[in-house]
Structure formats: C-alpha cells, structure tokens
Structure 1
Amino acid sequence: MQLVVGRIGRPHGIRGDVTVEVRTDDPELRFAVGASVATDPAGRGPLVIEGRRWHKDVLLVRFAGVDDRDTAESLRGIMLVIDSADVEPSDDPDEFHDHELIGLAVVTTSGEPVGEVTDVLHHGQDLLVIRRAGQDDALVPFVRELVPEVDVRGGRLVIDPPEGLLA
C-alpha cells in the first residue's frame, strides 16, 4: 500500500524549488537530500531530492533536474509516496499508523460483527470510519473507552459502543 508523505505545491523562486505540503511525522527522513521519492502519478517519478530547507514553517524542496520555475510548476499537485512496508512499526503498543487500521474487521465486545475500518479521520479527535453492510458508515472516536482492543496481526478491532453510536 502506498502512503502519501507529501504533496508538491507551488514553485518558490525561479530556480526550481517547490513548496511541499508535509504529510509525514518524519520529514527529515522522508525528504533527506539524496533520497528518491516515488510519485502518484507514478509516471512523474521517482524524484530525487537535491536540496531542502524550511522557510517560515514551509518545506522547500529542490528535485534533481528541476532547474526553473516552469518545470517546478509542472510538478504542482503531484503526491510523494512511500510503500507502507518502509514504515517502522511504533514501539508504543497504543499507537497505530492509519494503514495498519484500514481493513481491520470490527466487532463489538460481545462478538457481534459491525463492519470494516475504511478510513481514519484526524479532525481534532481521531475517528474510525467503519463501513457497515447495508447501512451508513459509522464514525467511532478512536479512544480506549470505545476501542478497547486492536489486534493488527489478527485483523480485528473490538469496539464497545455506547447506546445510539451505531444507530
């Protein structure tokens, strides 16, 4: 599975630098000088990072072969991606990457099947999007009180929904 770690934004200056909307918690690793980064669409990459710097909380990146503003503009909107297999699992047993949760079967604490995690939203509070057969998707806050068990290896997530949450 491919994970987006950045999105190329507008050009910065006339020498080919671009802004990058960072979507990773480790930009120093993902955007290290010399790193080759895959792209979506795949035909536009991979791109090799030739230089990078922070400017007013914005990451500026220069890619090899991108030496002018017009070429930089042609990259706008391209997603920078990595393979999920390249992401180290967290040492914290209560911390999960989104890609580890997506696809897990969801059951209640009594074993009743609920559906499958299809997405994780990060809007002030993390929310699991659970697809339920023949019903609307359910949004479940990803907190220990409501999600007491996550078994990534077993492919299952257990929820303890209060009355009305799944209605």
Structure 2
Amino acid sequence: MQLVVARIGRAHGIKGEVTVEVRTDEPELRLAPGAVLATDPATAGPLTIETGRVHSGRLLLRFEGVKDRTGAEALRNTLLIADVDPAELPEDPEEFYDHQLMDLDVVLADGTEVGRITEITHLPSQDLFIVERPDGSEVMIPFVEEIVTEIDLEEQRAVITPPPGLIDASEAVVASAREESEGSAPKAGDA
C-alpha cells in the first residue's frame, strides 16, 4: 500500500536541500537517509533521501542527484510516497493509519448510524473525519478523544459521543448570558 508521507516545499540554501511538510507520524522511519520514495508526479522520482536534518523546527531533506537550488526548486510541491505493508500497525495502540480508518462506519454510543468515514483531513490542531451521512450529506467530526470514544477495527466502526449540534443542527442549543439574565425578554425577530 502506498501512503503519502510528505510534500516537498521550498528550496533551502544553494546545495539542493528542500523543506518538507511532514504527513506521517513516523518521520524518523519513513524519511530517514537511504529511504527510497515514489513521487506524485511520478516523473519526479523515485527519490532517495541522502540526508535529513531539522532546522528552525522544519525538516530539511537532500536527495541523491539533487545538488543545487535549481534542482531542489524543480521538486517543489511533489508528494513523497512510501510503500507500507497494509498489515503494519503503529507502535502506539491509540494511533491509527489513515487507511485503517477509511470506510469505517460511524455510530453513536447507542448504535445509531451516523454515516461512513470517506476522508480524513489533517489540520495543525487536530484531524477531522469527513463522514458521509446516509442521505448523502457530509459532516465533519473532530478526531479527538472526547468525541471519538472508540475505534474498533475488527467491527469496522468508530463510536462517537458528539456535543449538541455537531451532527444535527436541530440538536443545537443556543444560550447566552444576556438571554438568561433578561428572562423572557423579546429576541430579535420576535413579533
């Protein structure tokens, strides 16, 4: 199975190094010197990592055969793809690879069907499940412990306990301190 592990960013310096946007929880394994990675577009690779280092909080890589800034800039926005055994699991039992989570059924704690995970979006603060509802609509579920309470790979399901309003707008409860202090004062739009 092929997984995207990084995206090449700007050239760094004049000796062929590039910044990379890491897209793996295991960069020390997937982006180590000697690793051979496929690319998207395929015409840019395969690329073999010659060196890697962290500079100002960013991972810098140099690839075999890329010796100058021009060669490094030509790789900008290229995706780096690693071959991963589909049976391979992360070391931490609380971590999951994207391919393990795709197509899981999403249900509430009482078993009520919510939908199916069709996409996983990685944001700086958290990951989001994009869940397709039975009616074809989509809902975004933050992949945080407080909401996603269980991942059961054997049963192919994710159990969630969403806060009010997350999956159905009709469940949303809107309250403000002003309304509480004024009691039943008229609201905007009341006749």
**Residue matched to 2:21:** 21
The residue that corresponds to 1:42 in the other structure is 42
State the structure with more CA Rg: 2
Structure number with greater CO (CA < 8 Å, separation at least 6) is 1
Residue matched to 2:120: 120
Conserved? CA contact 1:103–1:117, under 8 Å:
yes
- Residue of structure 2 in register with 1:55 after alignment: 55
Shift of 1:87: 8.1
Shift of 1:91: 4.4
What is the TM-score with the length of structure 2 in the denominator? 0.73
- State the distance in 2 between where 1:165 and 1:151 align: 22
Q: SS at 2:85's partner residue? A: helix
Unaligned 5+ segments in structure 2 are 169-191
* Cross-structure match for 1:110: 110
Aligned CA distance change for structure 1 residues 143 and 26 (closer, same or farther; 3 Å)? closer
Q: Which moved more, 1:149-158 or 1:90-99?
A: 90-99
Q: Deviations over 1:24-66 (max 9, x none)?
A: 2222222222111111122321101112222222222111111
2:130 aligns to what? 129
Write out the 4+ residue segments of structure 1 that deviate beyond 4 Å after TM superposition: none
Contact 1:84 1:99 in 2 (8 A): no
The separation in 1 between residues aligned to 2:15 and 2:143, in whole angstroms, is 44
* Structure 1 gap segments, 5+ residues each: none
Instruction: Report the equivalent of 1:142.
Output: 143
The 3 A distance-change label for structure 1 pair 8 and 129 is same
Q: Percent identity?
A: 52
Tell me how large the CA RMSD over aligned residues is. Answer: 2.5
Q: What is the count of residue pairs matched by the alignment?
A: 167
C-alpha displacement at 1:112, in angstroms?
2.9
Q: Is the strand fraction higher in 1 or 2?
A: 1
Match of 2:141, SS state, is strand
